[in-house]
Amino acid sequence: MKRLSIVFMLMLAVACRQNSCVVVPEAPDYSDPVMWITADGDSEGTGADIFYIVSTWEEDWTDSTGRVYHYADVWNAGHREHMATEMNRVAAYMSPGNRFYAPFYRHATIDAFLTRNDSVVYERTRLAMQDVCDAFDHFLTVRDTARPLVLAGFSQGGMAVVELLKHMDDATYKHLAAAYVMGYKVTEADMEESHHIRPAMGEYDTGVTICYNTVKGLQYVNPMIASTSIGINPVNWCTDATPAVLYDTITVTLSPEYHVVVVKGYSGSEYKPYKDFINVGDIHSCEPWLYSDCIRENIAVRTRAFRDGSRACIYY
């Protein structure tokens, strides 16, 4: 017991710097409805269950005693309000015809990514990813398992989609219509770690992972976010360089070499650069919104394909 106390004190000493300690907010309770944004738009019972993971909304913050937090606080009404802004806006286009579930979680703050250090990002996001896995496990206990499953997430939420594909068992994977990684990377190491991560090859295949990142030019690929090994054009669903036209004026072309989509005719000026890290030619913040009509329609396409039994990709 004495030895454990000494170890704890050493850990505390390492965590405290200049009278400011790094601490962890209280864990979420996913049996509490306050931890969720949900919407049931499937009156006919023909849609999918969509599990959506929100992106990063908080910066490092301190409490009244000066303690530093590297994580969002799910019990903080202000933090929940920030996350709900995105969750409700995504639900507005994903929930019609489907059942939508989105948990609040202790996402790692943007400061982890600003280090541009993969090791720091990995260490800081482990708590966040565990929260998402816990939320998903609770979700599995309450959903109708006969229904198709769709995963979707943006930015850090896209990372969480990748982690959920690794986390789920084969029985759960059999119900997967599609997983959408919006604005984050899928690496060769990810695919080697889990046979559940299989790149989409077209518009209709199921049990697959859809990944896309948007840039104005290939020189703007953000290594922390978009150095991905897979990608697909979310407008024409091609994996080659066949261009697509969006909203009559925007040309969207996939780079088969870099697996990102290059847009022409769209400035993305509504998304301001953040600390010279995102929206500096990469238009990172557009991912859930620019292609929302395409994503909504594709969820319906893949859900119908799943229900028709035409799964194109099942790997074991």
The full 3-state SS of 232-269, as one line of letters, equals CCCCCCCCCCCCEEECCCEEEEEECCCCEEEEECCCCC
Q: Tell me, what's the pLDDT at 21? A: 59
* Residue 294: both structure tokens together: 């395409």
**Cβ(260)–Cβ(241) below 8 Å:** no
End-to-end CA distance of the chain: 47
Q: What angle do CA 73, 75, 78 make, to 5 degrees?
A: 75
Q: Tell me, what's the pLDDT at 309? A: 87
Q: What are phi and psi of 17, to 5 degrees?
A: -140, 125
Q: Hey, CA dihedral for 71, 74, 78, 84, is it positive or negative? A: positive
**Quick count: other Cβ atoms within 10 Å of Cβ 141?**
9
Nearest one of 190, 195, 200 to 168, comparing CA atoms? 195
Q: Tell me the pairing of strands 149-154 and 49-53.
A: parallel
Q: Tell me the pairing of strands 176-182 and 208-212.
A: parallel
Distance, in Å, from the CA atom of 168 to the CA atom of 132, rounded to the nearest integer, reads 12
Distance, in Å, from the CA atom of 181 to the CA atom of 196, rounded to the nearest integer, reads 14
Q: What angle do CA 257, 122, 69 make, to 5 degrees?
A: 130
Q: Tell me, what's the pLDDT at 20? A: 46
Q: Hey, CA dihedral for 196, 197, 198, 204, is it positive or negative? A: positive
Helix (H) or strand (E) holding 211: strand 208-212
Q: Tell me the percentage of the chain whose pLDDT exceeds 90.
A: 91
Mean pLDDT by 10 residues, the chain (316 residues): 38 42 91 98 97 98 95 98 98 98 98 97 98 98 96 98 98 98 98 98 98 98 97 98 98 98 97 96 98 98 91 41
Q: Tell me, what's the pLDDT at 12? A: 39
Instruction: Give this prediction's pTM.
Output: 0.92
Q: Tell me, what's the pLDDT at 220? A: 97
Q: Hey, CA dihedral for 156, 150, 227, 132, is it positive or negative? A: positive
Q: Tell me the pairing of strands 16-17 and 49-53.
A: unpaired
| Structural domains of the chain in order of their starting residue, each with its CATH number | 19-212+287-307 (3.40.50)
